[in-house]
């Protein structure tokens, strides 16, 4: 846009200069389009066409470079959502509904170790002693399933909260 074409225009004139609709101008304003004076009751918007042109060029360059371009309203909503999620998470922590990731990792590591030990240790030994020389397939399956159910019951009764408490360092457990 040449320097001689710089004008101060209202909202409708800005839409006409750039060949867009009034809702598009409103969206530009929400996205951060520069203006000299915000329209209020009885007073019109005032835009500098050169400033608007530069702003549109900058946005086009940002978009072409892959930069994320967000309007002010979208950023406000994103911030509000993040603040709301933080408050909800804090409340859930106070209510004991969530646990820190490191505690869950320790609990799951211990639980899986218990599963591995139970399945590879006592279960195998008990099966071997009960099934030595067994040729009846039904009996073999019955004994194996009973032993597996026994191990699964023990694992189901495993208290993960106690595992986490036992694993906490002394200075954390004292808090």
Token duo for residue 168: 């906490």
For residue 87, pLDDT over 50 is answered with yes
Domain count, the chain: 3
CA-CA distance, 22 to 19, in Å (whole number)? 10
Asked whether 28 and 61 are in contact (CB, 8 A), the reply is: no
For residues 156-168, average pLDDT: 69
User: Is there a domain that residue 37 lies in?
Assistant: yes
Whole-model pTM? 0.40
Domain that holds residue 93: 74-98
pLDDT the model gives residue 125: 84
Question: Which residues share a beta bridge with 48?
Answer: 8
48 and 20 belong to one structural domain? yes
For the stretch 9-67, pLDDT in tens is 999 999 999 999 999 999 999 888 999 988 888 889 999 999 999 999 988 888 887 76
Instruction: Give the CATH number for residue 9.
Output: 1.10.10.10
User: Is there a domain that residue 79 lies in?
Assistant: yes
90 and 118 belong to one structural domain? no
pLDDT the model gives residue 155: 80
151 and 134 belong to one structural domain? yes
Token duo for residue 79: 């911030």
């Amino acid at each position: 846009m040449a320097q001689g074409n710089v004008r101060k225009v209202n909202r409708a004139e800005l839409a006409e200069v750039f060949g867009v609709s009034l809702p598009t101008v409103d969206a530009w304003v929400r996205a951060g389009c520069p203006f000299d004076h915000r329209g209020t009751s009885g007073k019109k918007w005032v835009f500098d066409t050169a400033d608007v042109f530069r702003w549109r060029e900058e946005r086009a360059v940002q978009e072409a470079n892959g930069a994320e371009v967000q309007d002010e309203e979208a950023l406000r909503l994103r911030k509000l959502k993040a603040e709301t999620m933080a408050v909800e998470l804090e409340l859930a922590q106070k209510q004991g509904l969530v646990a820190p990731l490191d505690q869950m990792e320790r609990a799951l590591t211990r639980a899986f170790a218990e599963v591995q030990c139970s399945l590879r240790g006592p279960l195998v030994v008990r099966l071997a002693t009960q099934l030595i020389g067994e040729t009846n397939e039904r009996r073999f399956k019955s004994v194996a399933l009973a032993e597996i159910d026994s191990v699964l019951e023990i694992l189901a009764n495993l208290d993960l909260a106690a595992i986490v408490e036992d694993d906490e360092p002394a200075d954390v457990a004292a808090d």
